[in-house]
Amino acid sequence: MRCWIFQFNPDRFNALPSFYGKDEHHWTIKQYAGQIRKGDICLIWQSGKSDIRGIYAIGEIVTDPAYILDPAEESKNWKKEKDRNKKEIRVKFVFTHKLLDDPILISEIRSYQELQGLAIIRQPQCSNSPVVASEWSVIEKLIENRGKIA
């Protein structure tokens, strides 16, 4: 099992409203498609200014990456028509935790020495990035302390 950050830009994709009340979602895989697998963990990361940037949900990937047409109910979340209804490499995941109203923001993440090397901090433009086991261990404790289950 591996852990990955799946990042979205709220200026391009309106993801958060679609997460309320929904148990599963698809995610486009731009990097690491050869390594991401069913059973892996994904952390849903919102990009942007520091007051909104961070982890908003956690999920378990339930399919291996494959070319999948963007499901209609998810495609409508793209802000530009040109981004909608594309067949791209995607995975499906199910939420295990939703932190939508209490995300783990970048300010909290930066307060942990063990998280200073997170790939998303070093390469903030990546759509998908790995989380090493020692980083996941710290993040997992932060999630557990919030006590929110999907």
Q: Tell me if residue 26 falls in helix, strand or coil.
A: strand
Q: Based on the number of CB atoms within 10 Å of its own CB, is 96 exposed (0-12), middle (13-18) or buried (19 or more)? A: middle
What residue spans of 13-116 are helical by DSSP H?
15-19, 72-75, 106-109
Please give the pLDDT value at position 96: 93
Please give the pLDDT value at position 20: 82
For each of the domains in the chain, give its residue range(s) and CATH number, in order of start: 3-146 (3.10.590.10)
Please give the pLDDT value at position 147: 65
Residues of the chain with confidence (pLDDT) below 50: none
Q: Angle at the Cα of 150 (from 108 to 35), degrees rounded to 5? A: 75
